[in-house]
Amino acid sequence: MRGTRVRTGGTRTVRPRLLLAMLSVLALVVAACGDALDDEAVGDDPADEPDEDVDEPEDDAVEDDDAEEAPEEDEEEDADAAADDDYPDRPIEVIVPWDAGGGTDQVARTLAEGLSDELGQQVNVVNQTGGGGAVGHTAIATAEPDGYTIGLTTVEIAMMRHMGLADVSVDDMAPIAQVNFDPAGITVADDAPWESVEDLLSDAEENPGEITGSGTGRGGIWDMARAGMLLEAGMEEGDITWVPSEGAAPALQELVAGGIDVSFASLPENASMINEERARPLAIMADEPSDDFPDVPTLADEGYDVSIGAWRGLTAPDGTPDDVIATLEEATQTVVESDEFIELMDNSGFGIVWRDSGEYGEFMQEQDAEFAELMEAAGLAE
């Protein structure tokens, strides 16, 4: 029976063969569309990349994260640099381990005035005395290492640890610059029987302990100068008896009065009596002759390789940043080369010796080692 279309309740029935033909045509159309889409997908579009490159956006995302973090690190570095560039941004304190009005105090105040001009900040001197310099030197060493507390360190920093006066030493200091060195002198009364250091030492060797010397307290720098000379000459430390005094000035008065035989203080400290021809220098313990006393031989000229003296220099607490030290060093050199500083030192009779931070650090270490050995040999080490 041929198929016929029958209407039943509004539903249309399609013949089976016609339906099959329509489905076949639809399949062909779908297949053709699929091929076209595949051709587009694998085309030569430059934006298309292999599957393994799909991760690149994630890598880019990581790089973007790093790029976002980098500015923060740069900002921190810029802040540190800005802080360094701003130094100093407040007043600086210079600790002096000795009394106001003394030689070290005068040098410190002249340096402070010049540094104020160079750095654009007030630089104030604070005297912290006591313990033979131990109090002030300890205060310098234990201050915050930020460049706002520094000190005018003296030769005693290389001595006091070995004498048991304090635990502080040159290792606790960051050197800025040395500004002064005054060698020990050997001065006798004008009517003394000795014309040279050789005469003095020969007499001391023949009559051990009878000749007396002074210039400072026991174990002070001028006492060490005496001991160093005697030991270098192969003699005993006690061959010239030490008479402790409160300093060079009273010792000089004792010298011209006949109370002692030799002053071992610096020649500038004895200049008043030397100029009045009441005292006579035999030698200085320096590598070179003094500009103020050019006719006075060095101890080395007399055959004894001894160079001992008092010195001063600026230091900061150990751990102070290098760039801060460099700033202070540069400013200090400008001050030391100024007319005002040179005039003060000339008028006071103090010798100007410049050592930069590195040289000063090496010098302090050498002095520390030399005084340790000298004090041990002299029986003064604790």
Predicted confidence at residue 378, as pLDDT, reads 86
Q: Dihedrals φ, ψ of 35, to 5°? A: -60, -40
pLDDT tier at 84, thresholds 50, 70, 90 = low
Sheet of 92-96: strand order equals 123-127, 92-96, 149-154, 309-317, 173-183, 352-355
pLDDT tier at 165, thresholds 50, 70, 90 = confident
CATH architecture of 185-284: 3-Layer(aba) Sandwich (3.40)
Helix pair 103-119, 322-336: axis angle to 10 deg: 110
d(C-alpha 141, C-alpha 121), whole Å: 22
d(C-alpha 134, C-alpha 268), whole Å: 25
Q: Do domains 101-181+314-378 and 185-284 have the same CATH topology?
A: yes
Q: What is the DSSP letter of 320?
A: -
The mean pLDDT value of the chain amounts to 83
Which helix (H) or strand (E) is 24 found in, with range?
A: helix 16-41
Whether the CB-CB separation of 265 and 309 falls below 8 Å is answered with: no
Helix pair 339-348, 103-119: axis angle to 10 deg: 180
The total of other beta-carbon atoms located within 10 Å of residue 186's CB is 27
* Ranges of each domain in the chain: 101-181+314-378, 185-284
Q: Dihedrals φ, ψ of 187, to 5°? A: -120, 135
d(C-alpha 261, C-alpha 264), whole Å: 10
pTM over 0.85: no
Predicted confidence at residue 26, as pLDDT, reads 43
Lowest mean pLDDT among 14-18, 87-91, 214-218, 332-336: 14-18
Work out the average pLDDT over 134-147.
97
> Over 70: is that where the pLDDT of 6 sits?
no
CATH code linked to domain 101-181+314-378: 3.40.190.150
> Over 90: is that where the pLDDT of 41 sits?
no
Between residues 288 and 60, the one the model is more confident about: 288
Q: Give per-residue burial for 128-147: e unless 16+ CB within 10 Å, then b.
A: bbeebbbbbbbbbbebebeb
Between residues 266 and 16, the one the model is more confident about: 266
Predicted confidence at residue 285, as pLDDT, reads 96
d(C-alpha 334, C-alpha 220), whole Å: 32
d(C-alpha 283, C-alpha 300), whole Å: 9
Predicted confidence at residue 370, as pLDDT, reads 92
> Per-residue pLDDT tens for 257-306?
999 999 999 998 899 999 999 999 999 999 889 888 999 999 999 999 99
> Over 60: is that where the pLDDT of 118 sits?
yes
> Over 70: is that where the pLDDT of 57 sits?
no
Which helix (H) or strand (E) is 353 found in, with range?
A: strand 352-355
Predicted confidence at residue 247, as pLDDT, reads 83
